[in-house]
Structure 1
Amino acid sequence: MKNQSLLESFTCAIDGIKHVIKKERNIKIHLILMILALTLGCFLAFSTIEFILVILTSALVIITEIINTAIERVVDLAVDQKIHPLAKLSKDIAAGAVLFSAMVSVVVAVLLYIPKVVNILL
């Protein structure tokens, strides 16, 4: 696997992304929320910087979800019928990274969207 061409490396990466999108419910939720956030940003006339913040925080959540999925797969592969406490801990920590990135994303969303919506309503 180490001696793959650049094209083969990209193909493997794309296959991984396709797999996660097909098989993981949470990544679908994150992608839908990202699309909704960007669409709402269009209606609220976000600046370039505001769009960049939405894209970066959304990407952070999606990236951590992909890494979480990879960690879960490796841990599941390495674990027998009896779940080792470190295996559970590894999965919990990875899930915690997703949760933390999602919480940061919500904070950024509140800071960006609420003032714009209040401005429209007042």
Structure 2
Amino acid sequence: MGYHLRKFYKNDYYSVGFDFGSGTVIGYIVESKDNSGWKKFTIAEPTSGTYAELLNKAKYDNYFLDLTDLSEKETSFFKSIKKQLILGGPGYNPKRDNLYKKKFSEMYDAIIFIKTISVSDHVID
């Protein structure tokens, strides 16, 4: 979706990504034809080698990071290829590799980072 919006709006498009350190996520799991649904999973800490691993070490629990307004040293970090947890529409699936190698600088103009996330209980009850 973001690719198409960037292509259409060009420099008028500002993409904001979301990342987190740990917490509870959901995923739609299909175990069989008659047994499928949303389930909760706990991610105890960021995966090694991800952007989240470093971002989680910041002194703030939650913050907005404008990637277009960084120093040269900071910019080079976000231009490096790192693994990124991508959950998408069906959410998290522990049996699937949810990590993709990407450059934050090519994906987003800014990041919202939340140290610990949770899901609403009513989502899967």
Task: Tell me which of the two structures has the higher relative contact order, counting C-alpha pairs closer than 8 angstroms and 6 or more residues apart.
Answer: 2
Q: Answer 1 or 2: which has greater helix percent.
A: 1
Q: TM-score, normalised by structure 2?
A: 0.26
Q: TM-score, normalised by structure 1?
A: 0.26
